[in-house]
Amino acid sequence: MELRPKEFDLLVQLAASAGRAVSREDLMSDVWDENWFGSTKTLDVHVAALRHKLGDRARITTLRHFGYRLEPPGEG
């Protein structure tokens, strides 16, 4: 599967915490830059693209008003 650089970095961050919630703030800081200035909508767009590319291989759960969680295989 071909991923863009930020999609890959996002997947790495989520996989490193598989099964645990990762806050939007932590993802923005780790994947983009701790000095990111602007909308966090880019995170939502990248998660949507990553979900599409992953298909049935993995599931990313949205945790409203907090962040995201990559579900371990066989769960979710």
- The 10s digit of each residue's pLDDT in 66-75 is 999 999 877 6
Interior angle at CA 13, CA 10 and CA 17, nearest 5? 140
- CATH at 55: 1.10.10.10
β-sheet with 67-71: strand ranges across = 22-23, 67-71, 59-63
Say how far apart CA 12 and CA 74 lie, in whole Å: 19
Mean pLDDT of the chain: 91
CA dist 59 and 75 (Å) reads 9
Tell me the whole-structure pTM to 2 decimals.
Answer: 0.87
Whether 37 shows a pLDDT value over 60: the answer reads: yes
Residue 76 covered by a domain:
no
Whether residue 19 is contained in a domain is answered as yes
> CB burial class (10 A; 0-12, 13-18, 19+) of residue 37?
exposed
Residue 56 resides in a domain: yes
